[in-house]
Chain A
Amino acid sequence: DQQVKQNSPSLSVQEGRISILNCDYTNSMFDYFLWYKKYPAEGPTFLISISSIKDKNEDGRFTVFLNKSAKHLSLHIVPSQPGDSAVYFCAAFSGGGADGLTFGKGTHLIIQP
């Protein structure tokens, strides 16, 4: 049973436009959400996070939005740049739990020139 779902395996966006990556979750106990970025042959790197007490967190070109009632979060990248082409993983955990993150399957973002 998948607790964190990324239903789009891939997304293609033109350079300069906005990229929107979506993530849904089913576990109501999750109270912290993160996005990781992964290039081929490298490990994932942390990108941005949001606590369940917030509905938005912004860091430069990256903004994460959280809709708790819909159990949905999204990552907005604006403007999109060629270096943003990567696989993006949504992840979540329950506060206080050190038993690792639950990851989605990832979305491959392709930025076209």
Chain B
Amino acid sequence: NAGVTQTPKFRVLKTGQSMTLLCAQDMNHEYMYWYRQDPGMGLRLIHYSVGEGTTAKGEVPDGYNVSRLKKQNFLLGLESAAPSQTSVYFCASSQGYTGELFFGEGSRLTVL
């Protein structure tokens, strides 16, 4: 019973490097989301997708790109990492829009 799986779980980058976080869900959900959590800031929405092939910007999209080529996968890319992107990233999915999101375990990214 995998649910929402994020890879990698930990990563250290140098400023300017690029990387991709992968989110995979096995619940056939239409909606997928990327959030970041910073100390004292709660969770903030980066990008989201309401179906395969669609993406949209959330509250804090700058410096990130996303793609949803397959329904079960939602990729978050950092083209040129900055220290301000040091955070814990959470992927989530939902079937309809009831607000009940299923979250992955998180990916901790450190940018030096």
Contacts and interface: CB of A to CB of B under 8 A. Distances in A.
Interface string A55-92: 00000000000000000000000000000000001010
Contacts of B4: 43
Contacts of B101: 44, 46, 101
B31 interface: yes
B64 to A, nearest CB: 14
Interface of B: 4, 31, 33, 35, 40-45, 48, 50, 56, 58-59, 90, 92, 97-106
Interface in A5-59: 6, 9, 32, 34, 41-46, 49
A34 B31 CA distance: 17
Given A43-B90, A43-B103, A100 B42 contact: no
B103 A98 contact: no
A45 B103 contact: yes
A100 B90 contact: no
A11 to B, nearest CB: 16
18 contacts: A32-B98, A34-B100, A41-B105, A42-B106, A43-B106, A44-B103, A45-B103, A46-B101, A46-B102, A49-B98, A96-B97, A98-B97, A100-B45, A101-B43, A101-B101, A103-B44, A105-B40, A105-B41
Given A43-B4, A43-B90, A89-B43, A100 B103 contact: no
A53 to B, nearest CB: 14
A106 B35 CA distance: 15
